[in-house]
Amino acid sequence: MGTKTRAPPKSATEPAVVSRHLPDKTFVIDNGAYTLKAGYVSDLPPAEDEALSACSTIPNALAKTRDNRVVIGPQLLTHVSDWNEVMFRRPVEKGYIVNWEAQREIWEQSFFEEKATARNKSSRIANPEETTLILTEAPNAIPLLQRNADEIVMEEWGFGGYTRCIGPTLNAWNEVHTLFGDSTTPQPDAAPLPVDCLLVVDSGYSHTTVTPVYKGQALQRGIRRLDLGGKHLTNYLKEIVSIRQYNMVDETYIMNEVKEAVCFVSNDFSADMEQTSKAGRRRQAGSDKSVVVDYVLPDPNAGRKGFMRPHDPMLEAKKKKGALSGLSADVLSEDVLVLGNERFAVPEILFNPRDIGMKQAGIPDIILQSLSVLPTGLHPPFLANVLVVGGNSLTPGFIERLETELRQVASADCVVRVRRAQDPIRSTWLGGSRLAANREELGKVAITRQEYQEYGSGWTGRRFAGNV
Amino acid sequence: MFRVELLTDTKSTAQPGWAYVPDRGFDPAKAAMAPTLGRKRGIRDAGKGGDMTSRQNTAIVRHLAELDRENQRDVQIPVPVKQAKEAGARGTRAKTTSNVRRILQSQKTFRNHLDDEEAAISLGAAGVSGGGGGGGAAQSTGVGGMSGGAVQAKSGIASKGSKSSSVAQRKRPLAAGATTSASATPAPSVPETAETGTGADDEADDGESAPKPKLLKTEYDNDPLLRSYAPTAPSERLMQRLLAEPPLSYNASRAGPPALTAPPRHFCCMCGYWVA
């Protein structure tokens, strides 16, 4: 290890007496592996939609296109038209920021551009010294990586205030009572407070975590992780399609779009499987109940995007006849993936990891594993408040399946309620912005630049771990 | 005759840049997800119990590693070199510190960091970084669901009667009861740790202050065997203690295998059928 900044003085156990002033502006970065969600917190706690308009979603990757251009972070939204064979380099591995060389470049492009433009207005940090940063991390991070993050944030950019917290816990600050249909007495003027008990299932790009959150803090012993996320689903779909149809192994981006368009979580796996295989045999499709669909692959030369449509079993035969069939040139030139049981067999691995040979339990079982190490008195409130966030929760049928299976395995005395956050991707960011609106609570968890300079990164790490 | 004596290395080797890591048989750098068994043990145990050969296991681990990849091919995507003009623009900011330079130049992967942490934990040190929070001897006992033994056992006692009665009463599948109590049973080794103390005095504490369990309204309330109670909320003291616990290590927080051992189904990706 390199030189330490300053050894934390042993006597300095009461840093609170140092007159501290956190900058008024707060910037929240939910640094996901696939996208980073970032934006300023508005001064007044506004309505949810308004607050979210300040949050931009930026791809957290460096990409290399087919013509060997390197495209960084926010440019991916505008500068790429041909997504064939695009390769990605992601600074976040397994949910944690590992490569700061790449991450710094993406942050520089996203937040620290020299000139203010219309595009970067909401996400440009003009003066880090006058800004408090809330940075999220995945639970159970490796201490050295946490320390790296602290050092870079405070020494490279020098934020005036800073806190690093476990992403899923921030969701407890959101207004989830209406989501669960609980009646509450709304107090519009009061500073936001976290809900008492919330079990957050965060199914993201790298992994799926279950975090019991008690009054805004994680119950560390109950955090469990399934090492499957959106990346694995995309790769699995890619693999199946490559074996059965076209070779798509280099088309990560396109297969991700296919996944988002066609995949759903089955509520009756074996029945769906049976139905799909029968439909395939009888070649009778087109009926509403058929699972089989066609996905027309994008054609960058013609500037066409990919899209899904009902399966046409006669299409192949018609195409063979060529121009005689009376099909348009567009249809004749298009490439089509026929997707049957892949549509639900792929997301199924989140509920049955053993389908791909993994020795881990599915999400409902993991929730029980998480609860099993907590006092039984906490089981009812957690089971009644299961909030699902993360991109995978947008898969149709996900919530219903989770609720059904959780109902089956949970104690019959407990009410089981599973809800998806209104915007599952930016929900964590929104929670962070609501935490920031409560200045008092923010002051308890954040540190100032002076404190960092005085006590160093070792102290910072202990402080965020709640040990100082 | 000569004899081989294994000299234990007492010298700690916690030096930056390298560490002893457990040997997992075949190249662990390629396996993004750690195999649960070593290569040799896989072969040895092939005959007993497990229905999978080591070859199948290896194939699965390879497959999982494939699914964990970012790109199909290994590509190097360098960060574009800054133009001199842009680089000069940073003059307004403070100079790069040695910490920042070290972190930016580090090409370690997550795998490397994880190995470092594992090595640090097995050495009993409080994490490589000394940054607090992670690592530490206390955590090595907290593997998987075991760490919860004390609390679970405690609350298990408190609500044992009600639990078994509710099982009988509700005619629900045994699974739920089995999973909750099963997690309490592997605890016996745990109470030796520091948690015994906390568990014991919490119990005493609860005994005085905790409210009586609430009776659940059912038609069986008059039957002492069948009436069921709602578990009481844990005391504030217990909650504070739970909240103050350090996080588990990365490996310890990985979810365990499913409780029910239904035979796994196999998906044949060639024909698209499931074979039970």
Mean pLDDT of B254-270: 72
User: Are B155 and A376 in contact (CB < 8 Å)?
Assistant: yes
Mean pLDDT is lowest, of A222-231, A317-326, A433-442, for: A317-326
The answer, for A159 touching chain B at a CB cutoff of 8 Å, is no
Residue type, B32: A
CB atoms within 10 A of CB B146: 18
- In this prediction, residue A393 has a pLDDT band, given cuts at 50, 70 and 90, of very high
The yes-or-no verdict on residue B167 having pLDDT over 90 is no
Distances, alpha carbon A296 to alpha carbons A254, A332, A340, in Å? 11, 11, 14
CA distance A163 to chain B (A): 15
Q: Write down the pLDDT at residue A400.
A: 93
Scanning A343-372 for CB atoms below 8 A from B yields: 345, 354-362, 365-366, 368-369, 372
Taking only the tens place, the pLDDT of each residue in A44-89 is 656 666 777 788 889 999 999 888 888 888 888 888 888 888 899 9
Q: Write down the pLDDT at residue B170.
A: 40
Q: Write down the pLDDT at residue B189.
A: 37
Contacts of B250 in chain A (CB under 8 A): 140-142
Q: What is the DSSP letter of A140?
A: S
Contacts of B104 in chain A (CB under 8 A): 100-101, 104, 152
The yes-or-no verdict on residue A396 having pLDDT over 50 is yes
Domains of chain A, each with CATH number or no CATH:
15-166+425-464 (3.30.420.40), 235-345 (3.90.640)
Please indicate whether residue B116 or residue B160 has the higher confidence score (pLDDT): B116
- In this prediction, residue B213 has a pLDDT band, given cuts at 50, 70 and 90, of low
Name the percent of chain B lying above pLDDT 70: 33
Pairing between β-strand A131-137 and β-strand A197-203 as defined by DSSP bridges: unpaired
Q: Write down the pLDDT at residue A425.
A: 92
Of A219, A250, A465, the CB nearest to B246: A465
Name the percent of chain B lying above pLDDT 90: 0
Q: Taking the alpha carbons of B145, B151, B154, B158 in that order, is the dihedral positive or negative?
A: negative
Q: Write down the pLDDT at residue B233.
A: 78
- In this prediction, residue A122 has a pLDDT band, given cuts at 50, 70 and 90, of confident
CA–CA separation, B188 and B8 (whole Å): 31
Taking only the tens place, the pLDDT of each residue in B264-273 is 676 665 666 6
Instruction: Indicate the average pLDDT of chain A.
Output: 84
Instruction: Indicate the average pLDDT of chain B.
Output: 61
Contacts of A379 in chain B (CB under 8 A): 231
Q: Write down the pLDDT at residue A289.
A: 63
Q: Write down the pLDDT at residue A355.
A: 83
Taking only the tens place, the pLDDT of each residue in B47-63 is 444 556 778 888 888 88
- In this prediction, residue B261 has a pLDDT band, given cuts at 50, 70 and 90, of low
Mean pLDDT of B244-259: 86
Q: Write down the pLDDT at residue A49.
A: 66
Q: Write down the pLDDT at residue A210.
A: 94
Taking only the tens place, the pLDDT of each residue in A9-51 is 444 444 444 447 888 888 999 999 999 998 888 766 566 667 7
CA A391-A397-A401 angle, 5° bins: 105
Chain A and chain B share a number of CB contacts under 8 A equal to: 310
- In this prediction, residue B11 has a pLDDT band, given cuts at 50, 70 and 90, of low
Give the gyration radius of chain A's Cα atoms: 24
Of A220, A235, A340, the CB nearest to B69: A235
Residue type, A395: T
- In this prediction, residue B18 has a pLDDT band, given cuts at 50, 70 and 90, of low
Q: Write down the pLDDT at residue A109.
A: 85
The answer, for A288 touching chain B at a CB cutoff of 8 Å, is no
Mean pLDDT is lowest, of A168-177, B117-126, B139-148, for: B139-148
Closest alpha carbon to A236 in A244, B29, A33: A244
The answer, for A271 touching chain B at a CB cutoff of 8 Å, is no
The answer, for A232 touching chain B at a CB cutoff of 8 Å, is yes
Q: What is the DSSP letter of B233?
A: P
User: Are A217 and B243 in contact (CB < 8 Å)?
Assistant: yes
User: Are B94 and A144 in contact (CB < 8 Å)?
Assistant: no
CA–CA separation, B142 and A3 (whole Å): 32
The yes-or-no verdict on residue B149 having pLDDT over 50 is no
Please indicate whether residue A130 or residue A322 has the higher confidence score (pLDDT): A130
Mean pLDDT of B117-131: 65
Q: Write down the pLDDT at residue B141.
A: 37
Q: Chain A residue with minimal CA distance to B233?
A: A377
- B266: which residues sit within 8 A by CB, 6+ positions away? B274, B275, B276
- In this prediction, residue A292 has a pLDDT band, given cuts at 50, 70 and 90, of confident
CA–CA separation, A109 and A121 (whole Å): 13
Please indicate whether residue A376 or residue B227 has the higher confidence score (pLDDT): A376
Burial (CB count <10 Å: 0-12, 13-18, 19+), residue B210: middle
Q: Write down the pLDDT at residue A8.
A: 46
- In this prediction, residue B263 has a pLDDT band, given cuts at 50, 70 and 90, of low
User: Are B129 and A214 in contact (CB < 8 Å)?
Assistant: no
Local structure of A35: helix, strand or coil: strand
CA–CA separation, A330 and A335 (whole Å): 10
CA A453-A142-A206 angle, 5° bins: 120
Closest alpha carbon to A403 in A309, A265, A253: A265
Q: What is the pTM of this model?
A: 0.77
CA–CA separation, A171 and A193 (whole Å): 11
- In this prediction, residue B219 has a pLDDT band, given cuts at 50, 70 and 90, of low
Name the percent of chain A lying above pLDDT 70: 87
Mean pLDDT of A213-220: 90
Mean pLDDT of B224-250: 80
Q: Which of B33, B77, B179, B240 to mutate to test the interface with A (most CBs of A within 10 A)?
A: B77
Task: Enumerate the β-bridge partners of residue A310.
Answer: A293
Q: Write down the pLDDT at residue A387.
A: 93
User: Are B80 and A214 in contact (CB < 8 Å)?
Assistant: no
Please indicate whether residue B7 or residue B85 has the higher confidence score (pLDDT): B7
CB of A361 within 8 A of CB of B258?
yes
Please indicate whether residue A286 or residue A327 has the higher confidence score (pLDDT): A327
Taking only the tens place, the pLDDT of each residue in A304-357 is 888 888 887 777 777 777 666 677 777 777 888 888 888 898 999 999 888 888
- In this prediction, residue B174 has a pLDDT band, given cuts at 50, 70 and 90, of very low
User: Are A356 and B67 in contact (CB < 8 Å)?
Assistant: yes
